[in-house]
A = this chain, B = another copy of it.
Amino acid sequence: MSATDINSKDRRLPLMGRWLPDAHGRLARAALELYSERGFEQTTALEIAERAGVTERTFFRYFADKREVLFQGSQELQRIILATIAETPEDVRPVDVVIAAMNKVGGLVFDRAHSIRRAAIISANPALQERELLKFSTLSASVAGALRERGVAEPSATLAAETGVTVFKIGFERWITGTPSEDWAECIRDTVCQLREVTPSIIVG
């Protein structure tokens, strides 16, 4: 099916060490292609497996479910963010710690073209949006945990984490949809400025 000759039937060729591309990578690429071509719901796990030249069962050995293919990078991202937080000096304010971390990871992890492609797929399907939301929520929870370990008290930790992740999301969106030349750091900085203008008064109702 695919134009690449990688998907030929004669796998199991002389593979010393890591010779042939592994099933994982082939599956990930096949899934991305198919989700783009015909939409997430319209592609079956079997089709992905076939394009990758493996069995359906093998697909589910590498990915917990159909959606997970699109969220591979998440743990990696989270690990980097937490590590960055750990390195930040103690006297910085909680939110600033988080935002600094968000700031740092940008150029490190993302391929813009891939991100755009991925975002298009996700935005077309509620089930995928749900998963993305959960990943962000998980990220927020562990950031809050990291903050707590630094001695930040409880409501502040959660709020700072939540705020930081919100900045990340909105900044990311902007980075993807804006002009290609715009810098990651710039997106984050502007978003923070806008956020500050929006802070609520105490008077409610």
The residues of A with any CB-CB pair to B shorter than 8 Å are: 93-96, 99-100, 103-104, 126, 129-131, 133-134, 137, 155-156, 158-160, 162-164, 166-167, 170, 185, 188-189, 191-205
Which 10 residue pairs of A and B lie closest in terms of their CB atoms, listed nearest first? Answer: A133-B133, A130-B130, A95-B200, A155-B194, A159-B198, A130-B134, A103-B205, A99-B204, A199-B199, A100-B205
Inter-chain CA distance A104–B200, complex, in Å, is 16
B170 with A158: CB separation less than 8 A: yes
Report how far A118 CA is from B34 CA in the complex, Å.
37
Closest to A103 in B: B205
A32 → chain B closest CB, angstroms: 21
Residues in chain B near residue A167, CB distance under 8 A? 200
- How far apart are A194's CB and chain B's nearest CB, in angstroms? 4
Interface centre among A103, A189, A202 (most CB of B within 10 A): A202
- By beta carbon, the residue of chain B nearest A166 is B162
User: In the complex, given contacts A99-B204, A195-B199, what are 6 additional A-B residue pairs having Cβ atoms less than 8 angstroms apart?
Assistant: A100-B205, A155-B194, A159-B170, A159-B198, A163-B195, A163-B198
Asked if A203 contacts B96 (CB within 8 A), the reply is yes
A169 CB to nearest B CB, Å:
8
Give the chain B neighbours of A193 by CB distance below 8 A: 202
Bound CA–CA A12/B22 (angstroms) = 60
Chain B residues lying within 8 Å of A194, measured Cβ to Cβ, are: 155-156, 159
Contacts of A202 in B (CB 8 A): 189, 192-193, 196
Do A93 and B196 form a contact, CB below 8 Å, given A134-B126, A166-B166? no
